[in-house]
Amino acid sequence: MSDFQQKLQKYAELAVRVGANVHPGQTLIVHAPILSAELVRLIVKSAYTAGAKLVTVKWSDETITRLQYELAPDETFNIAPKWYAAEMTEEVENGAAVLHVIAENPDLLKGIPSSRITAAQRVRSHELRQYREYQMADKFSWSLIAYPSAEWAAKVFPDLPASEQMDKLWDAIFSTVRVDLDNPVEAWKEHLKTLSSKSDILNAKRYKKLHYLAPGTDLTIELAKDHLWVAAESVNQQGHTFVANMPTEEVFTAPLKTGVNGKVSSTKPLSYSGNIIDNFSLTFENGRIVDVQAETGLETLQHLVEMDEGSHYLGEVALVPHKSPISDKNILFYNTLFDENASNHLAIGNAYAFNLKGGKDMTQEQLAANGLNSSLTHVDFMIGSAEMDINGVTEDGTEEPIFRKGNWAI
């Protein structure tokens, strides 16, 4: 077995045993592009070896997706995927785990009218709302991993010969998820402990607000009264742990919906809906986005903010040190799974119920009453840099350092 094959096998096992953490008797649903078939076959084998009773793979193909957006009639993008939403909701209600393999071309839908993209996203998100509520409340295990595509690799490494781009992206992915180590599973256990130590400190502090200062950014974010800082590892309704994002370097919590004021500027491009949004800023008043600016992708950003009422507000605040394994690679991935774990970031849209004490068992109305935002969307964007300072503000107004020059000060 070649070195690459060994790493690919480790990657599949890591996704099954740490990411989705498949248990005996459980169903695993895998969403994957057809180009990732080699990895997916290993995932299926690993899942059955772990005791899965059934593994179902749902394939996708970016070429077909592009053709639909180019050639299908407009009404196509307003058709609700009722059968799919019903199937996915029923599966997770019955305890299934879900694993997503992504290989996104950042420019897949470049040139497609934003109205088509927004319409498709809105109707799909609305139909899947129950499923998303389960997801945001940790009702089931889910995880997200990546697989390189030629288009993505070319975007990340444009200066390399085409023959080297895929290998370079594979190396970066393997390294960020610790597959290049002798025992990735044990390495992840230690990593999760390290992240949890930071969330424990922040939970003990009970800061009322966070104050962000950096070039182009002066932002105050009030936190929900009973907010919880959470690290990478989650616990589902059955009491089983899982890791939603692989890789991950963040600790995160929920902002108070109406408690965000000031301006924040992006520090990395955002790949969203097959388009790039870059060099953008958002201005907030009492939580609501009141102004958006962007050098690239302004129309796409505007459509994102206009998705629904909740997309005018934030749902997540996440802390990631500038000096971290992904950031230190100095690679712009054009993929949020990686770029958000190299930078402090915020999320437009829906808040996670588990970021509130008792939130997993609350209704949507109760979550809203406790200050959490609700939306059809949840989109992370990167704001961190080596020039960012963050202060925690206590109930009496005292400001204490959390980040200095982009890194932890606690």
**Above 90 in pLDDT, residue 67?**
yes
State the pLDDT confidence band at 232, using cuts at 50, 70 and 90: confident
- Report yes or no: 246 and 15 within 8 Å, Cβ to Cβ: yes
pLDDT for the residue 245: 94
Residue with tokens 């949507």: 364
- Report yes or no: 383 and 267 within 8 Å, Cβ to Cβ: yes
Average pLDDT over residues 141-159: 97
**Above 90 in pLDDT, residue 198?**
yes
Average pLDDT over residues 157-176: 97
Task: Output the six-digit token pair for 244.
Answer: 């939603």
State the pLDDT confidence band at 257, using cuts at 50, 70 and 90: very high
For residue range 332-368, what is the model confidence (pLDDT) as tens digits?
999 999 999 999 999 999 999 999 999 999 999 999 9
Strand pairing report for 217-223 and 255-265: antiparallel
Percent of the chain with pLDDT over 70: 100
pLDDT for the residue 147: 98
For residue range 20-64, what is the model confidence (pLDDT) as tens digits?
999 999 999 999 999 999 999 999 999 999 999 999 999 999 999
Angstrom distance (rounded) from CA 393 to CA 212: 11
Average pLDDT over residues 196-221: 97
Mean pLDDT of the chain: 96
Percent of the chain with pLDDT over 90: 95
pLDDT for the residue 182: 87
**Above 90 in pLDDT, residue 325?**
no
pLDDT for the residue 237: 92
Q: Where are the beta strands (DSSP E) in 189-274?
A: 209-214, 217-223, 233-235, 241-243, 251-253, 255-265, 270-272
pLDDT for the residue 341: 93
State the pLDDT confidence band at 1, using cuts at 50, 70 and 90: confident
Angstrom distance (rounded) from CA 45 to CA 48: 5
For residue range 262-321, what is the model confidence (pLDDT) as tens digits?
999 999 999 998 999 999 999 999 999 999 999 999 999 999 999 999 999 999 999 999
Q: Quick one: DSSP state of residue 1?
A: -
Angstrom distance (rounded) from CA 316 to CA 320: 13
